[in-house]
Structure 1
Amino acid sequence: MGFKKEFRAQPVKLGPYWRAEERAKRRRQRISFVARTSLLALGIFSVGMLATNWSAVRERLPTFYPSCSWARGAGAAPILRGSPGYRAQLDADGDGIACEAIPQRERLTDS
Protein backbone atom coordinates (compact mmCIF):
# COMPACT_ATOMS: atom_id res chain seq x y z
CA MET A 1 0.00 0.00 0.00
CA GLY A 2 2.79 2.33 0.22
CA PHE A 3 3.56 3.49 -3.31
CA LYS A 4 0.19 2.89 -4.97
CA LYS A 5 -1.80 6.05 -5.72
CA GLU A 6 -5.52 6.25 -5.03
CA PHE A 7 -7.72 6.20 -8.10
CA ARG A 8 -9.43 9.49 -8.87
CA ALA A 9 -11.77 9.83 -11.82
CA GLN A 10 -10.84 12.70 -14.08
CA PRO A 11 -13.70 14.84 -15.44
CA VAL A 12 -14.33 14.14 -19.09
CA LYS A 13 -14.25 17.14 -21.39
CA LEU A 14 -17.15 16.65 -23.74
CA GLY A 15 -17.05 17.81 -27.32
CA PRO A 16 -19.01 20.56 -29.08
CA TYR A 17 -21.62 18.11 -30.44
CA TRP A 18 -22.58 17.05 -26.95
CA ARG A 19 -22.78 20.68 -25.74
CA ALA A 20 -24.99 21.60 -28.71
CA GLU A 21 -27.29 18.67 -27.95
CA GLU A 22 -27.56 19.71 -24.30
CA ARG A 23 -28.38 23.29 -25.28
CA ALA A 24 -31.05 22.07 -27.70
CA LYS A 25 -32.53 19.80 -25.02
CA ARG A 26 -32.73 22.68 -22.51
CA ARG A 27 -34.29 24.91 -25.17
CA ARG A 28 -36.94 22.27 -25.93
CA GLN A 29 -37.69 21.97 -22.22
CA ARG A 30 -38.13 25.74 -21.89
CA ILE A 31 -40.38 25.90 -24.93
CA SER A 32 -42.40 22.97 -23.64
CA PHE A 33 -42.81 24.69 -20.27
CA VAL A 34 -43.96 27.93 -21.89
CA ALA A 35 -46.37 26.04 -24.15
CA ARG A 36 -47.87 24.09 -21.25
CA THR A 37 -48.22 27.24 -19.15
CA SER A 38 -49.86 29.11 -22.02
CA LEU A 39 -52.32 26.30 -22.65
CA LEU A 40 -53.20 26.17 -18.98
CA ALA A 41 -53.81 29.92 -18.88
CA LEU A 42 -55.93 29.71 -22.04
CA GLY A 43 -57.95 26.87 -20.53
CA ILE A 44 -58.61 28.79 -17.34
CA PHE A 45 -59.60 31.87 -19.35
CA SER A 46 -61.95 29.79 -21.53
CA VAL A 47 -63.67 28.22 -18.53
CA GLY A 48 -64.10 31.67 -17.03
CA MET A 49 -65.63 32.98 -20.24
CA LEU A 50 -68.04 30.05 -20.43
CA ALA A 51 -69.05 30.41 -16.80
CA THR A 52 -69.82 34.12 -17.09
CA ASN A 53 -73.47 35.08 -17.05
CA TRP A 54 -73.41 37.38 -20.08
CA SER A 55 -77.00 38.59 -19.70
CA ALA A 56 -76.14 40.06 -16.28
CA VAL A 57 -73.00 41.66 -17.71
CA ARG A 58 -74.94 43.11 -20.64
CA GLU A 59 -77.48 44.70 -18.28
CA ARG A 60 -74.71 46.58 -16.46
CA LEU A 61 -73.12 47.92 -19.64
CA PRO A 62 -74.31 51.28 -20.93
CA THR A 63 -76.43 51.11 -24.07
CA PHE A 64 -75.16 53.18 -26.96
CA TYR A 65 -76.52 53.47 -30.47
CA PRO A 66 -74.34 55.42 -32.93
CA SER A 67 -77.37 56.29 -35.03
CA CYS A 68 -81.09 55.73 -35.22
CA SER A 69 -80.64 53.06 -37.87
CA TRP A 70 -78.65 51.04 -35.32
CA ALA A 71 -81.38 51.55 -32.71
CA ARG A 72 -84.05 50.48 -35.19
CA GLY A 73 -81.97 47.46 -36.18
CA ALA A 74 -81.72 46.44 -32.52
CA GLY A 75 -85.46 46.89 -32.10
CA ALA A 76 -85.04 49.65 -29.52
CA ALA A 77 -86.62 52.54 -31.43
CA PRO A 78 -88.35 54.76 -30.41
CA ILE A 79 -86.22 55.55 -27.35
CA LEU A 80 -87.81 57.65 -24.63
CA ARG A 81 -85.90 60.18 -22.52
CA GLY A 82 -84.56 58.43 -19.39
CA SER A 83 -84.41 54.97 -20.93
CA PRO A 84 -81.09 53.28 -21.78
CA GLY A 85 -79.67 54.39 -25.10
CA TYR A 86 -81.34 57.81 -25.20
CA ARG A 87 -79.10 60.66 -26.32
CA ALA A 88 -80.02 64.20 -27.25
CA GLN A 89 -78.17 63.75 -30.57
CA LEU A 90 -80.71 61.08 -31.58
CA ASP A 91 -83.68 63.28 -30.68
CA ALA A 92 -84.13 65.42 -33.77
CA ASP A 93 -87.01 67.62 -32.57
CA GLY A 94 -86.19 67.67 -28.82
CA ASP A 95 -89.52 66.26 -27.66
CA GLY A 96 -87.98 63.48 -25.54
CA ILE A 97 -88.51 60.71 -28.08
CA ALA A 98 -85.42 59.70 -30.00
CA CYS A 99 -85.48 57.74 -33.25
CA GLU A 100 -89.14 58.31 -33.93
CA ALA A 101 -90.76 56.47 -36.76
CA ILE A 102 -90.12 58.07 -40.13
CA PRO A 103 -93.39 59.55 -41.36
CA GLN A 104 -94.36 58.11 -44.70
CA ARG A 105 -95.31 60.66 -47.30
CA GLU A 106 -98.85 60.62 -48.39
CA ARG A 107 -99.33 59.42 -51.89
CA LEU A 108 -100.56 61.98 -54.28
CA THR A 109 -103.77 60.92 -55.87
CA ASP A 110 -105.20 62.38 -58.99
CA SER A 111 -108.56 63.94 -58.23
Structure 2
Amino acid sequence: MQRHLRRNLSVEATLTIALCIGLFGAVVLWPSKPVMERPFTAAEQVRHTLAKPNCSAARLMRLAPARRGEPGYHPEHDRDGDGWACEPTPRRRG
Protein backbone atom coordinates (compact mmCIF):
# COMPACT_ATOMS: atom_id res chain seq x y z
CA MET A 1 0.00 0.00 0.00
CA GLN A 2 2.80 2.44 0.83
CA ARG A 3 4.54 1.72 -2.46
CA HIS A 4 1.31 2.60 -4.32
CA LEU A 5 0.98 5.81 -2.27
CA ARG A 6 4.61 6.73 -2.95
CA ARG A 7 4.10 6.14 -6.67
CA ASN A 8 1.01 8.39 -6.71
CA LEU A 9 2.94 11.13 -4.92
CA SER A 10 5.77 10.93 -7.43
CA VAL A 11 3.27 11.14 -10.30
CA GLU A 12 1.69 14.21 -8.69
CA ALA A 13 5.12 15.76 -8.13
CA THR A 14 6.10 15.08 -11.74
CA LEU A 15 2.87 16.61 -13.04
CA THR A 16 3.32 19.65 -10.78
CA ILE A 17 6.87 20.18 -12.01
CA ALA A 18 5.77 19.77 -15.64
CA LEU A 19 2.98 22.28 -15.11
CA CYS A 20 5.38 24.80 -13.55
CA ILE A 21 7.84 24.40 -16.43
CA GLY A 22 5.02 24.82 -18.94
CA LEU A 23 3.75 27.97 -17.23
CA PHE A 24 7.28 29.36 -17.07
CA GLY A 25 7.74 28.74 -20.78
CA ALA A 26 4.38 30.28 -21.63
CA VAL A 27 5.00 33.42 -19.60
CA VAL A 28 8.73 34.05 -20.00
CA LEU A 29 9.93 32.32 -23.12
CA TRP A 30 6.93 32.73 -25.41
CA PRO A 31 7.72 35.23 -28.17
CA SER A 32 5.57 38.24 -27.56
CA LYS A 33 3.93 40.26 -30.28
CA PRO A 34 3.69 44.00 -29.93
CA VAL A 35 0.52 44.94 -28.13
CA MET A 36 -1.47 47.69 -29.74
CA GLU A 37 -2.41 50.48 -27.38
CA ARG A 38 -5.83 50.80 -28.98
CA PRO A 39 -7.67 48.85 -31.66
CA PHE A 40 -7.94 50.35 -35.13
CA THR A 41 -11.19 52.04 -36.05
CA ALA A 42 -13.10 50.61 -39.01
CA ALA A 43 -11.77 53.35 -41.31
CA GLU A 44 -8.19 52.79 -40.10
CA GLN A 45 -8.57 49.04 -40.64
CA VAL A 46 -9.66 49.58 -44.25
CA ARG A 47 -6.77 51.97 -44.91
CA HIS A 48 -4.35 49.58 -43.15
CA THR A 49 -5.49 46.72 -45.38
CA LEU A 50 -5.22 48.85 -48.54
CA ALA A 51 -1.65 49.80 -47.51
CA LYS A 52 -0.56 46.13 -47.40
CA PRO A 53 0.74 45.60 -50.98
CA ASN A 54 3.71 47.98 -50.82
CA CYS A 55 4.99 51.32 -49.55
CA SER A 56 3.51 53.21 -52.51
CA ALA A 57 0.08 51.99 -51.45
CA ALA A 58 0.82 52.98 -47.85
CA ARG A 59 1.83 56.47 -48.99
CA LEU A 60 -1.31 56.71 -51.12
CA MET A 61 -3.37 55.92 -47.98
CA ARG A 62 -1.31 58.55 -46.10
CA LEU A 63 -0.09 55.91 -43.66
CA ALA A 64 3.63 56.00 -44.40
CA PRO A 65 5.96 56.08 -42.66
CA ALA A 66 4.34 54.03 -39.90
CA ARG A 67 5.64 52.81 -36.56
CA ARG A 68 5.09 49.27 -35.28
CA GLY A 69 1.54 49.04 -33.90
CA GLU A 70 0.19 51.92 -35.98
CA PRO A 71 -2.15 51.64 -38.97
CA GLY A 72 -0.08 51.13 -42.12
CA TYR A 73 2.74 49.19 -40.44
CA HIS A 74 3.42 45.84 -42.07
CA PRO A 75 6.59 43.91 -41.14
CA GLU A 76 7.46 43.25 -44.78
CA HIS A 77 7.68 47.03 -45.34
CA ASP A 78 10.22 47.42 -42.50
CA ARG A 79 13.45 46.66 -44.37
CA ASP A 80 15.89 47.29 -41.54
CA GLY A 81 13.70 45.94 -38.72
CA ASP A 82 13.84 49.14 -36.67
CA GLY A 83 10.09 49.39 -36.13
CA TRP A 84 9.46 51.93 -38.90
CA ALA A 85 7.83 50.83 -42.15
CA CYS A 86 8.17 52.71 -45.44
CA GLU A 87 10.60 55.20 -44.00
CA PRO A 88 12.17 57.50 -46.57
CA THR A 89 15.69 56.63 -47.67
CA PRO A 90 18.21 59.44 -47.34
CA ARG A 91 19.30 60.93 -50.65
CA ARG A 92 22.94 60.70 -51.58
CA ARG A 93 24.75 63.91 -52.22
CA GLY A 94 27.18 64.13 -55.01
Larger relative contact order (C-alpha < 8 A, sep ≥ 6)? 2
Query: TM-score, normalised to structure 2's length?
Result: 0.47
Structure with greater Cα Rg: 1
Q: TM-score, normalising length from structure 1?
A: 0.40
